[in-house]
Chain A
Amino acid sequence: MTLLVVAGLTKRFGGVAAAKDVSFTLDAGEMLAIIGPNGAGKSTTFNMVGGQLRPDSGSITLEGASIAGLPARAIWKAGVGRTFQVAQTFVSMTVAENVQMALLSHHGRSRGLFRDARALYRDEALVLLAGVGMRADAERPVSELAYGDVKRVELAVALASRPKLLLMDEPTAGMAPRERSSLMALTAEVARARSIGVLYTEHDMEAVFAHADRVLVLVRGEIIAAGTPEEIRANPRVKQVYLGEAGTKAAMRARRKAVA
Chain B
Amino acid sequence: MDKPLLDVSGLTAAYGRAQVLFGVTLRLRPGEVVALMGRNGAGKSTTLKAIMGVLPPTGGTVWFEGRAVTGWEPFRVARLGLGYVPEERRIFTDLTVMENLEVGRKVPADGRAAWTPERLFSIFPNLAEMRGRRAAAMSGGEQQMLTIARTLMGNPHAVLLDEPSEGLAPVIVEQMADGVLRMKREGIAVLLSEQNLSFAGAVSDRAYVIEKGAIHFEGTMAALEADEAVREAYLTV
Chain A bound to chain B:
yes
At the interface, yes or no: B56 with Cβ under 8 Å from chain A? no
B169 touches A244 (CB 8 A): yes
A39 touches B139 (CB 8 A): yes
A246 touches B173 (CB 8 A): yes
A36 touches B41 (CB 8 A): no
CA distance A54 to B174 in the complex (A): 35
B41 CB → nearest A CB, Å: 6
Q: A66-74, A90-98, A172-180: which lies at the B interface?
A: A172-180
CA distance A246 to B199 in the complex (A): 9
Within B95-150, the residues touching A (CB, 8 Å) are 137, 139-141
CA distance A39 to B141 in the complex (A): 10
Cβ contacts under 8 Å, A247 to chain B: 169-171
At the interface, yes or no: A136 with Cβ under 8 Å from chain B? no
Q: CB-defined interface of B50-79 with A at 8 Å, one 1/0 digit per residue?
A: 000000000000000000000000000000
Cβ contacts under 8 Å, B169 to chain A: 36-38, 241-242, 244, 247
A184 CB → nearest B CB, Å: 14
Q: Shortest 9 CB-CB distances between A and B: which pairs?
A: A247-B170, A37-B169, A244-B170, A38-B140, A244-B171, A177-B236, A176-B39, A39-B140, A246-B170
Within B153-209, the residues touching A (CB, 8 Å) are 167-174, 198-199
B170 touches A242 (CB 8 A): yes
- Cβ-Cβ contact count across A and B, 8 Å cutoff: 56
CA distance A170 to B81 in the complex (A): 36
Given A37-B169, A38-B168, A176-B40, A244 contacting B140 (CB threshold 8 A): no
At the interface, yes or no: B226 with Cβ under 8 Å from chain A? no
B194 CB → nearest A CB, Å: 13
Cβ contacts under 8 Å, A84 to chain B: none
A sample of 5 cross-chain residue pairs with beta-carbon separation below 8 angstroms, ordered by A number, consists of A37-B172, A175-B40, A176-B40, A176-B41, A244-B169
Question: Residue B174 contacts which of A36, A174, A246 (CB distance < 8 angstroms)?
Answer: A246
A251's closest neighbor in chain B, by CB? B170
Known: A38-B167, A147-B40, A248-B170; 7 extra A-B contacts, CB below 8 A, are A37-B171, A38-B169, A176-B41, A177-B236, A242-B170, A246-B170, A247-B171
Given A203-B167, A243-B170, A246-B173, A177 contacting B140 (CB threshold 8 A): no
A244 touches B173 (CB 8 A): yes
At the interface, yes or no: A193 with Cβ under 8 Å from chain B? no
Q: Interface size on A (CB < 8 Å)?
A: 25
Cβ contacts under 8 Å, B172 to chain A: 37
A241 touches B171 (CB 8 A): yes
B170 touches A174 (CB 8 A): no
CA distance A245 to B177 in the complex (A): 13
At the interface, yes or no: B229 with Cβ under 8 Å from chain A? no
CA distance A177 to B169 in the complex (A): 19
Given A242-B171, A243-B170, A146 contacting B140 (CB threshold 8 A): no
B137 touches A37 (CB 8 A): no
A246 touches B198 (CB 8 A): yes
At the interface, yes or no: B1 with Cβ under 8 Å from chain A? no
CA distance A173 to B40 in the complex (A): 9
Residue of B41, B167, B171, B199 with most partner-chain A CB within 10 A: B171
At the interface, yes or no: A260 with Cβ under 8 Å from chain B? no
Cβ contacts under 8 Å, A174 to chain B: 40-41
Cβ contacts under 8 Å, A246 to chain B: 170, 173-174, 198-199
Cβ contacts under 8 Å, A176 to chain B: 39-41
Q: CB-defined interface of A13-50 with B at 8 Å, one 1/0 digit per residue?
A: 00010000000000000000000111100000000000
B32 CB → nearest A CB, Å: 23
CA distance A242 to B172 in the complex (A): 8
CA distance A78 to B140 in the complex (A): 35
B199 touches A177 (CB 8 A): no
A172's closest neighbor in chain B, by CB? B40
B200 CB → nearest A CB, Å: 12
Within A209-249, the residues touching B (CB, 8 Å) are 240-249
Given A37-B140, A177-B237, A146 contacting B41 (CB threshold 8 A): yes
A37 touches B168 (CB 8 A): yes
B169's closest neighbor in chain A, by CB? A37
B140's closest neighbor in chain A, by CB? A38
CA distance A245 to B198 in the complex (A): 11
Cβ contacts under 8 Å, A36 to chain B: 169
CA distance A203 to B140 in the complex (A): 14
